[in-house]
Structure 1
Amino acid sequence: MSLQRKIRDKNLINVRIVSMDAELQFTVPRTSYGRDLLDVVYRALGLRETWYFGLQYQDDKALFNWLKENKPLLKHSGLSLDGCLTFSLLVRFYPEDVSEELVQDITQHLVFLQVRQSILDSHISCPPDEAILLASYDLQIKYGDYDDTNFEPGALPIEELLPLNILQQYANTSREAWENRVRQLHVDNYGFSRAEAELEYLKVAQNLSMFGVGYFQISNKKDSVVYLGVTAFGLNIYDKNDRQTPKINFPWSEIKNVSYEDTKFIIRPVDKKVPTFSFYSSNLRLNKIVLDLCMGNHDLFLRRRKPDSIEVQQMKLHAKEERARRQLERQKLLKEKRLREELQREKLELQRQLLDMQEEVRQANEEMNRCHETASVLSEKAKYSEEEATLLNQKALQAEAEVQKLKLTVLRSEEERILMEKKVQEAENIASQMADEAERCAAEVEDFRREMLKAKMYEKMARDRLMEISSTSPSPRFAVYEKVDSIGSTHSIANGMMMDTEKLSAEIERERLEYVQKSRNFQTQLNELKTEIEIIKSEDALSPFYALDVAGMRKEKFATLQKASAGSTKMRISHFENL
């Protein structure tokens, strides 16, 4: 049993297949041909569009070669037989139009991975504008629809999205600027599935001048070094310092046969009147690689211009039905997603409105509390004012009673004053009469001495009485003045109390007016804030950063090829040989 197992192990070979995103390991018989290994790989991947792909290996001289289908696996030149055989599954022949020719999603995915890596490694030259657009599709493929919660500033892997030579060439551009440009275009890719984003990526990439071109260094009869470019459309001749713009183009429709003799490569045109032309390479093995590449591209060029085989028709029909089914599912998912997003937006809006209402309620409660406090203060002031008013009223009543008393006193004093004045007047009259009488008595001194003495006695008595009256008459007048002063003082006290009452009432009215004005100002501020919020809501979103005209790019590429194909085949051959 052990011997049989050893024999079986000796008859098997371990093979490792490395693709752009996976690694496979197989065990195949040692007698297997190249096509047997390819069939195993294609079945494992479910790949049916096999004509685009091939298995590449590196030989013992560090040159890359393609596995041949009709050759035994172990008889490939330069293939190391020690240990596990390693091959890379790569795109060998590129389509003319990716949107029309790539049927299976797995085919499109493998082509996308290789083209993307070639662009990032700068094997395919890409301008900055197209590189940013491709980066936005790359983000859509990796992360799906744009969501700002998933991309914090500085978290975008710019080095994995843009070619290194562009980052070095525009070293002064900040990382944030690159992120903003890629993010703006990523937003426009909303709704694209992974397959659709990959197709959009390839539709832009196929318009690049170096897309699908295999370059080989050759020389013409004058030993002028140029580059040969083998493409799906034909053969291009490039200047050694410019591998983007072809100098001469030979479409496959003008080429009948391609062959080589040692290091000489011979191309035979379809037009028999046009002579063959040739170029030279550095070694024989390079000519074999160029010949295989030319034959494969030429066969596919002719195949595209024939009706599709039954197998291809079935594949396209199945792919069309599958894509239609996925489109319906995607539309359904997008509808549900938009509905969820709309519900989420409504939820957030309701939460925002709830928070606004809670804030308004809080502010209203605070305002109500302030109003209660103000009302309480005003109530206290009103109570105090009422007590003051009552006290003042009492004082006013007392003052009024005092005034009445004073008025009565004044009236009595006035009557006494009038009476005294009357008595004084009478006394003065008596004194005047007595003076007159004394004068008459003095004239009759001699005659009436006795009457004079008697008159003197009466005069003395009158003078004494007059002095008595003069000394007692001012008292009532002074009392009247004191009463009047007392009444004035009482009136001034009453007037001061009335002024205090009016001042307190004015202060209460002023605080009430200030409260009303503050309420009006607060309502005005709320209205202005709501107006500002509505203005913010109605602002339009910023327009996208820019959009590339993909169709225009493709027209420009074909215009370049058409210019390189201008003139007859004979003229272009002469031009090539005279370079």
Structure 2
Amino acid sequence: MNFLLSKKKTLIYVKVTTMEADLDSIPIEADCYGRDLFDMVCRIIGLREIWYFGLQHTDKKGHACWLQLDKKILQQNVVRQSNGSYYFLFLVKFYPEVVEDELIQDLTRHLFFIQIKQNILSMDLYCQAEVAVLLASFAVKAIHGDYSDDIELELDKLLPNSVINQYDMTSDMWKDKIKSWWMNINHLTIEEAEMEYLRVAQDLSMYGIQYYPIYNQKDTDLLLGISAQGLGIYETANRMSPRPFFPWSEIKNIKFKNKLFTINVMDKSKIKFRAQEASISPSILDLCIGTHNLYLRRRQADTLEIQQMKIQAQEIRTKKQNELAKLQKEREQRVQAEIERDHLKNEVEAANERLTVLQDVLRSTEETSKLIAEKAKISEEEALELSKRANQAEAEVQRVKMSQIQAEEMKIALQRKVRDAELLAHRLIQESQFNLNGRTNGNSTDFYMPFWNYAAQNLSLQQLNLLNRPGNPPDVNPIPLGENAAEGDVQYIHEKLPTLPGLYSSQYLSDELADLRQQITQSNDEYFQRNKDFRDRLADFRKEIETLKLEDRQSENDRIHESNVQNGWDKQSTLRKVRIVAFDGTLNSGSGSSKSRVRVFDEL
């Protein structure tokens, strides 16, 4: 910046506003040329495609003029501000024919995007409603990135008021439409969204055209439209359809004197018109010459500088694409990891739920076990008590049996004694009888043996054994210790336990993950296979909002556009056919010669 300064030269200060920032109080020498200031601004912002841009100022009559680069700044009709500085706008001055083929740097594309967006919002560039919504979605993508429902859209920074006011739609309805389109372009990068914005915008009828008021030979108020394709003559009420149009290929040279312009055409015919203000004549000439030079340059081989810029831009884009591909891959991996994390989280939650059930069952089992243990303890105590009682009863039975045996033995002894006594008595009787008989007979000498000895000897041992056999103890049935109750409780526990798959079964996890991967792959295939035919969608959207249109709020541009749509005319078809207007005011679609179009212009 200091190379413009000299110790002995007078300094002036300028302020330059770009589409992104303000450059305040730039000191330059008072005798600097416009080129010096322009180059300085380009270096400050890092711009290399400088041939598309220029510095615009307002003259003393309030007309917007372009700063002439080959003239000194103070020799031009530049207004000095109240603080003593000079004010300029750094804007797009020349437009490419095809933005995607000609714009090289990302910065250049970004500056174009901001300016075209601002021109649409300020209604300097007419845009129909359906296209405005599409462009708004690209703008939201370029500004905010991927779709997010949390982002609050500012409608006045996305759609022109002319579009909002001419339809019976609420702000939420407009926002929903924009978000719907935004979701469909979520796959685009920010750079791609800006380029798509420019691709759509360049098809607008008024895109890239700078209008200047002129007079023809009949002093009719007309507009001269300067564009990358050529020069068009427009009626003041219709800036969309030229009447007629002259492509740059037919224009040989342009010159002016004061207000009068003369354009020489290849077939030697001349177009003459007058600028309504002499102060804008240099801007018209400068714009025509610069646009025509760019037109010729496009049809020549690229210079080494442009080739180098394209190579560098391609390398940068390739690097960005690789980084984006890597980022996308990492994003997909992160999404996949999040899905698997959520899946595992759900499994953990399910496992926790199952663990809770198991804990409840275990708690119930422990309570049941305690109850069973208490029952078993009580049963054991009862069994011990009953066993004790049984032993006591058995001892009592044994005692009674011993007493009975003793009584039997005493009885037997007594019976034996009774029998002995009876036998003795009987013997005595027999002896007495015998003695009595002996005395009577006197000859009986038989010896008599007492028979009771045999009777005593023949006493049955079996009967004695029967008497001496110990009595069988009474059967004591053991009291059950609660086995049936315990088995019933255990059976209840088994019935309560759910049938659970292996919590960490590899087959279980692999099947679930395979299903998730299949769903993700299918959704991605469907997403990338969807047809994004914007024209069809725009046509459908146009039909959709057609019923909400408020006819009394339609502008003249809306009516002209509607008429062109009904007739099948668009910007490119108009320029291709070089439409001319007949003297009766009807629009002819046939191609006319340069002379015939010059006559049409003169007769307007």
Residue 276 of structure 2 is aligned to residue 262 of structure 1: no
Q: Decide which of 155, 174, 185 is 1:178's aligned counterpart.
A: 174
State the distance in 1 between where 2:123 and 2:243 align. 22
The residue identity in structure 1 corresponding to 2:125 is I
Structure-2 change in CA distance of 1:239 and 1:550 (3 Å): farther
State the distance in 2 between where 1:294 and 1:551 align. 38
Match of 2:585 in 1: none
State the distance in 2 between where 1:354 and 1:570 align. 84
- After superposition, the C-alpha distances for 1:244-279 in whole angstroms (9 at most, x for unaligned) are 23332110101112223333322211112xx21222
- Identity over aligned residues, as a percent? 36
Structure-2 change in CA distance of 1:354 and 1:279 (3 Å): same
State the Cα distance separating 1:225 from its structure 2 match. Answer: 2.8
State the distance in 2 between where 1:301 and 1:231 align. 10
- After superposition, the C-alpha distances for 1:319-348 in whole angstroms (9 at most, x for unaligned) are 122222222222112211221222122212
Any stretches of 5+ residues in structure 1 without a counterpart? 1-5, 381-508, 521-533
Q: Decide which of 548, 553, 572 is 1:558's aligned counterpart.
A: 572
Native 8 Å contact 1:56 1:67 kept in 2: yes
- After superposition, the C-alpha distances for 1:124-152 in whole angstroms (9 at most, x for unaligned) are 11122222222222222222223x3xx32
Secondary structure in structure 2 of the residue aligned to 1:99: helix
Native 8 Å contact 1:112 1:198 kept in 2: yes
Secondary structure in structure 2 of the residue aligned to 1:69: coil
Match of 1:282 in 2: 276
Native 8 Å contact 1:203 1:550 kept in 2: no
Q: Decide which of 223, 230, 250 is 1:227's aligned counterpart.
A: 223
Match of 2:77 in 1: 77
Residue 161 of structure 2 is aligned to residue 164 of structure 1: yes
State the distance in 2 between where 1:22 and 1:128 align. 30
State the Cα distance separating 1:301 from its structure 2 match. Answer: 0.7
Match of 2:387 in 1: none
Residue 317 of structure 2 is aligned to residue 303 of structure 1: no
Native 8 Å contact 1:59 1:80 kept in 2: no
State the Cα distance separating 1:7 from its structure 2 match. Answer: 9.6
Aligned length: 440
State the distance in 2 between where 1:83 and 1:10 align. 17
State the distance in 2 between where 1:287 and 1:47 align. 28
Residue 122 of structure 2 is aligned to residue 152 of structure 1: no
Secondary structure in structure 1 of the residue aligned to 2:534: coil
The range that moved more, 365-374 or 324-333, is 365-374
The residue identity in structure 2 corresponding to 1:306 is Q
Match of 1:419 in 2: none
Residue 601 of structure 2 is aligned to residue 576 of structure 1: yes
TM-score of the two chains, using structure 2 as the length reference = 0.63
Native 8 Å contact 1:204 1:550 kept in 2: no
State the distance in 2 between where 1:74 and 1:240 align. 33
Match of 2:122 in 1: 121
Native 8 Å contact 1:247 1:564 kept in 2: no
State the Cα distance separating 1:241 from its structure 2 match. Answer: 2.1
- After superposition, the C-alpha distances for 1:24-48 in whole angstroms (9 at most, x for unaligned) are 2421122211111112111222212
State the Cα distance separating 1:59 from its structure 2 match. Answer: 2.3
State the distance in 2 between where 1:7 and 1:96 align. 42
The residue identity in structure 1 corresponding to 2:11 is L
- After superposition, the C-alpha distances for 1:3-60 in whole angstroms (9 at most, x for unaligned) are xxx9948622222211011122421122211111112111222212111111111223
Structure-2 change in CA distance of 1:570 and 1:27 (3 Å): same
Cα RMSD (Å): 4.3
Any stretches of 5+ residues in structure 2 without a counterpart? 375-487, 500-514, 540-567, 580-590
State the distance in 2 between where 1:266 and 1:550 align. 44
Q: How does 1:68-107 map to 2 (within 5 A)?
A: 68-80=68-80, 83-107=84-108
Secondary structure in structure 2 of the residue aligned to 1:226: strand
Native 8 Å contact 1:184 1:545 kept in 2: no
State the Cα distance separating 1:230 from its structure 2 match. Answer: 0.8
State the distance in 2 between where 1:270 and 1:250 align. 11
TM-score of the two chains, using structure 1 as the length reference = 0.65
The residue identity in structure 2 corresponding to 1:561 is L
Match of 1:504 in 2: none
- After superposition, the C-alpha distances for 1:197-219 in whole angstroms (9 at most, x for unaligned) are 22121111111111110112333
Secondary structure in structure 1 of the residue aligned to 2:255: strand
Which of 1 and 2 has higher RCO (CA within 8 Å, sep 6+)? 2
- After superposition, the C-alpha distances for 1:457-499 in whole angstroms (9 at most, x for unaligned) are xxxxxxxxxxxxxxxxxxxxxxxxxxxxxxxxxxxxxxxxxxx
Native 8 Å contact 2:94 2:291 kept in 1: yes
The residue identity in structure 2 corresponding to 1:158 is L
Match of 1:43 in 2: 43
Native 8 Å contact 2:6 2:29 kept in 1: no
Which is richer in helix?
1
Native 8 Å contact 2:78 2:86 kept in 1: no
Match of 2:392 in 1: none
Native 8 Å contact 2:255 2:262 kept in 1: yes
Native 8 Å contact 1:191 1:334 kept in 2: no
Match of 2:131 in 1: 130
Native 8 Å contact 2:63 2:280 kept in 1: no
Residue 312 of structure 2 is aligned to residue 318 of structure 1: yes
Structure-2 change in CA distance of 1:361 and 1:226 (3 Å): farther
